[in-house]
C-alpha cells in the first residue's frame, strides 16, 4: 500500500494559447486520447495497484478545478493541499509528506507530476512495484526514463552499480546537456532521463530534507501548522510559505542523499512540455501531421494543427505549429516551440488578458463564456451546474439582464425571489444585492447582458458564498 502524491501546480507556459495561467496544461486533455485530462489520467493509471486515496498539491487559484475534475472522474482524494504561491518541488513534496504523517502514519509516497504522458501504463505499474520494494526498505527512489534520442531539454541521471531487485545506484545527476554531450550519453547506455517522479517513505524523505535543507522543512512545517482547513482543502499559510526557498527536490535532497537509487522506466514517457512534444505523441496522418478539430490540410507535412472554434486551412507548409483558440492563434516553427514561453512573458509584461484566462472561465458553480464585449456592454453565456449557486453579491458599476436559455433559475434580487424558466428574463439594477441558483436536475444556461461604466470581474462585493470566496 502506498499514497500517491500528485503535483498539480505547474503553469504550462510553453503550451499557450491552450494553457493559460488560470487553466494550465495539467487540467487539459492534450495527448489526443479521449480518456480525461492529464491530471485525471495520472490518477487513473494507478488502477491495479494497491494504494490509498491521493494527496494533491496544487495552486490556491486552481482549487475548484482540481475538486471538479476529481468529482467528474469519480476519484477520491485524501486532501487537496493548496500552495499560495509556487515554490518548486522540494517544498511541495515536503508539504505532502508532513500532511501524510499526521496521526502517526508513515506511508510510502509515490510522487507524480500531473502532466506526464505514459503510453505503456502496465510497464509504468511494473516499475512502481519495483520502486515500492526499495522505498519500503528505506531508499529514496527516482524513476529514470530510458532515452530514445539525444534530448537536450531534459536532465540526465548517470547510473552506477546495479542493485538487486532492479535499479541502479545514482552516480550523478547531470544538467541539460549540449547536443554533443547528449549524443555521448545516449551511446554510452549509462544514462537515463530525469523524469521528476519519486517514491520513498514520508519519514525517510523528511529526515533527508532536514539533514540537507532544514530551512525548507522548517518553513513548510510552520506554514502547514498555521494552515486553514475545511472539508476538502488545506490552505497553506501564505506569509510563512513565502519564506520558503524555491528549490527542486533534486537540488535539495536527491543530489546529496546516500540513500538514493534510480529505477529505469521504458514506457513511452513524455513530459508534454512543448507543442513539439504534443506532436511527438501522435496520432499522425500519412503526411506525419497531427490534426485536431476542423482542419483542412493541403500539401502539408510534419505539422501540428489544432482548431478549437473555426475552420483552419493550411497550404504548402511543413514543420509548423498552428493552434487556434477563440481569442488567440499561435503559428510557430515546430523546432522553435520552446520559445512560446517568450510570447507568454510578453503578454504578462503587457498585462494582456490572454496571458491569464480564456474567454471561457471556470467557476466552482459552473462556467461563463464571453460572447461579445464593447464600450459599456458585455455579453456572457453562463452555465450553472445542478444544485449550485452564485454568491450573494452586488456591483457598483454595472447592471445586468438575465435571459434563461434552458433549465430553471432561482433568482434573488433585493428582497424578491423569482423562479424563471426557458425564455423568461429579469433585470438586476446597479447596486442591488442579488444571487442566482440552479434548483433543477439539469444545467442552467442563460445569457447575461452587462451594461455600465466598468465591467471588470473585480466589481463584485460578496456577502454570502458557499465556496469561501468572500475575501477573494
The cell for 184 is: 555521448
Q: Based on the domain organization, do 284 and 265 belong to the same domain?
A: no
CA distance 73 to 56: 15
Question: Cβ–Cβ contacts within 10 Å for residue 123, how many?
Answer: 15
Residue 124 lies in a domain: yes
- pLDDT tens readout for residues 61-82: 898 899 889 988 888 888 899 9
Q: Based on the domain organization, do 31 and 144 belong to the same domain?
A: yes
Give Rg (Cα) of the chain: 24
pLDDT of residue 471 exceeding 60, the answer is no
Torsion angles phi and psi, residue 400, rounded to 5: -140, 145
pLDDT of residue 59 exceeding 80, the answer is yes
- pLDDT tens readout for residues 128-187: 999 999 999 999 999 999 999 998 888 999 999 999 889 999 999 999 999 999 999 999
Between the CA atoms of 368, 369, 371 and 376, what dihedral angle is there, to the nearest 10 degrees?
50
pLDDT at res. 136: 96
Residue 351 lies in a domain: no
Residue 296 lies in a domain: yes
pLDDT at res. 338: 87
Q: Domain boundary at 345, 380, 399, which? A: 345
pLDDT at res. 360: 86
Q: Based on the domain organization, do 217 and 237 belong to the same domain?
A: yes
Q: Based on the domain organization, do 331 and 292 belong to the same domain?
A: yes
pLDDT of residue 103 exceeding 80, the answer is no
Q: Based on the domain organization, do 301 and 266 belong to the same domain?
A: no
Q: Based on the domain organization, do 82 and 143 belong to the same domain?
A: yes
Domain ranges, residue 320: 280-345
Q: Based on the domain organization, do 331 and 439 belong to the same domain?
A: no
Residue 353 lies in a domain: no
CA distance 153 to 48: 32
Q: Based on the domain organization, do 425 and 386 belong to the same domain?
A: yes
pLDDT at res. 368: 94
Q: Based on the domain organization, do 130 and 205 belong to the same domain?
A: yes
Q: Based on the domain organization, do 414 and 299 belong to the same domain?
A: no
Residue 306 lies in a domain: yes
Residue 85 lies in a domain: yes
CATH number of the domain at 383, please.
2.60.120.10
CA distance 414 to 434: 6
- State the Cα angle at 221 between 218 and 224, rounded to 5°: 150
pLDDT at res. 445: 97
Q: Domain boundary at 211, 245, 270, which? A: 270
User: Where residue 34 falls among pLDDT bands split at 50, 70, 90?
Assistant: low
- Count how many domains the chain has: 3
Q: Which of 469, 472, 460 is nearest to 397 (CA)?
A: 460
Q: Based on the domain organization, do 42 and 84 belong to the same domain?
A: yes
pLDDT at res. 472: 41
Q: Based on the domain organization, do 10 and 92 belong to the same domain?
A: yes
pLDDT at res. 364: 86
| Average pLDDT of every residue of the chain | 93
Record the pTM: 0.87
pLDDT of residue 322 exceeding 80, the answer is yes
- pLDDT tens readout for residues 340-390: 999 999 999 999 989 988 888 888 899 999 999 899 999 999 999 999 999
Residue 471 lies in a domain: no
Q: Domain boundary at 216, 247, 270, which? A: 270
Amino acid at each position: 500500500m502506498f499514497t500517491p502524491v500528485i503535483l498539480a501546480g505547474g503553469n504550462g507556459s510553453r503550451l499557450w494559447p491552450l494553457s493559460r495561467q488560470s487553466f494550465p496544461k495539467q487540467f487539459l486533455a492534450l495527448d489526443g486520447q479521449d480518456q480525461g485530462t492529464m491530471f485525471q489520467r495520472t490518477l487513473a493509471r494507478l488502477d491495479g495497484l494497491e494504494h490509498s486515496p491521493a494527496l494533491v498539491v496544487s495552486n490556491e487559484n486552481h482549487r475548484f478545478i482540481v475538486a471538479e475534475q476529481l468529482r467528474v472522474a469519480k476519484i477520491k482524494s485524501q486532501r487537496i493541499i493548496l500552495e499560495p504561491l509556487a515554490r518548486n518541488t522540494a517544498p511541495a513534496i515536503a508539504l505532502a509528506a508532513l500532511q501524510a504523517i499526521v496521526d502517526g502514519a508513515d506511508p510510502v509516497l509515490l510522487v507524480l507530476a500531473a502532466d506526464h504522458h505514459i503510453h505503456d501504463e502496465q510497464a509504468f505499474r511494473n516499475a512502481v512495484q519495483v520502486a515500492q520494494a526499495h522505498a519500503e526498505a528505506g531508499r529514496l527512489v527516482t524513476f529514470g526514463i530510458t532515452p530514445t534520442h539525444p534530448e537536450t531539454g531534459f536532465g540526465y541521471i548517470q547510473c552506477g552499480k546495479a542493485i538487486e531487485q532492479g535499479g541502479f545506484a545514482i552516480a550523478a545527476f547531470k544538467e541539460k546537456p549540449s547536443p554533443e554531450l547528449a549524443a555521448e550519453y545516449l551511446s554510452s547506455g549509462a544514462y537515463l532521463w530525469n523524469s521528476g517522479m519519486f517514491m520513498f517513505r514520508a519519514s525517510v524523505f523528511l529526515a533527508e530534507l532536514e539533514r540537507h535543507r532544514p530551512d525548507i522543512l522548517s518553513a513548510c512545517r510552520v506554514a502547514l501548522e498555521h494552515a486553514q482547513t475545511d472539508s476538502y482543502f488545506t490552505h497553506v499559510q501564505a506569509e510563512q510559505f513565502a519564506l520558503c526557498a524555491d528549490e527542486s527536490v533534486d537540488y535539495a535532497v536527491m543530489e546529496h542523499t546516500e540513500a538514493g537509487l534510480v529505477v529505469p522506466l521504458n514506457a513511452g514517457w513524455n513530459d508534454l512540455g512543448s507543442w513539439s512534444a504534443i506532436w511527438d505523441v501522435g496520432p499522425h496522418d500519412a503526411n506525419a501531421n497531427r490534426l485536431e478539430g476542423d482542419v483542412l490540410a493541403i500539401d502539408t507535412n510534419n505539422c501540428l494543427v489544432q482548431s478549437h472554434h473555426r475552420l483552419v486551412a493550411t497550404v504548402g507548409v511543413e514543420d509548423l505549429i498552428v493552434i487556434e483558440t477563440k481569442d488567440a492563434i499561435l503559428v510557430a516553427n515546430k523546432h522553435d516551440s520552446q520559445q512560446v514561453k517568450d510570447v507568454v512573458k510578453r503578454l504578462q509584461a503587457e498585462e494582456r488578458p490572454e496571458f491569464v484566462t480564456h474567454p471561457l472561465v471556470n467557476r466552482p458553480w459552473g462556467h461563463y463564456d464571453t460572447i461579445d464585449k464593447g464600450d459599456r456592454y458585455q455579453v456572457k453565456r453562463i452555465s450553472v451546474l445542478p444544485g449550485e449557486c452564485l454568491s450573494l453579491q452586488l456591483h457598483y458599476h454595472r447592471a445586468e439582464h438575465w435571459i434563461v436559455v434552458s433549465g430553471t433559475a432561482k433568482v434573488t434580487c433585493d428582497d424578491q425571489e423569482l423562479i424563471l424558466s426557458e425564455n423568461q428574463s429579469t433585470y438586476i439594477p446597479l447596486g442591488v444585492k442579488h444571487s442566482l441558483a440552479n434548483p433543477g436536475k439539469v444545467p442552467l444556461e442563460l445569457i447575461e447582458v452587462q451594461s455600465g461604466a466598468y465591467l471588470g470581474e473585480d466589481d463584485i462585493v460578496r456577502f454570502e458564498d458557499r465556496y469561501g470566496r468572500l475575501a477573494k
